[in-house]
Amino acid sequence: MVDVEFEGDGRNFPTPGQFARVHYVASFERTGEIFESTRARCGSALEFCVGAGHTIAGFDLALQRMSVGETARVVVAPTLAYGVKGRPPRIPPNAALVFRIELISIKEKLQSSIGVAAATPVQRLRNR
């Protein structure tokens, strides 16, 4: 489920293979507890390749429906997040997640000094 909080430009939507730059806050739907935030972590936006498995499926799919400048609240079902196994100890089994995503920009090539190989916060969370 995607609830648009702030409309984007309505023209520029990320597609697989492009790089998206986003800020997000992630929380548990059941409790509202925040477990990840790009702004709280270090203030830097997350930059990743869309459709390349760098984020959970629900995040990636929702992002592809957003346009540049848009901010949306996205509820991700467990099947499109971490499923029946979760990601212990941080993400319990069958956890529905809520993301507040701000799509800052999209581009064809990564123009960051970090590089694609660097682990993003969501990748680190997925690998725990």
What string of pLDDT tens digits covers the 128 residues of the chain? 889 999 999 999 999 999 999 999 999 999 999 999 999 988 899 999 999 999 999 999 999 999 999 999 999 999 999 999 999 999 999 999 999 999 999 998 645 544 444 445 555 455 44
Q: Hey, which CATH number is domain 2-111, 3.40.50.300, 3.40.50.2300, 3.10.50.40, 3.40.50.720?
A: 3.10.50.40
pLDDT of residue 123: 52
**Residue 49 β-bridge partners:** 19
pLDDT of residue 111: 54
Task: Decide if 51 contacts 59 (C-beta within 8 A).
Answer: no
Q: Specify the pTM.
A: 0.82
Domain locations along the chain: 2-111
d(CA 123, CA 54): 6
- Gyration radius from the chain CA atoms: 14
Q: What are phi and psi of 72, to 5 degrees?
A: -140, 150
Q: How far is CA 28 from CA 7, 55, 100, in A?
A: 24, 16, 12
**Residue 98 β-bridge partners:** 27, 75
- Run of H or E residues at 35: strand 34-37
Nearest of 106, 76, 110 to residue 15 by alpha carbon = 106
Task: Decide if 94 contacts 84 (C-beta within 8 A).
Answer: yes
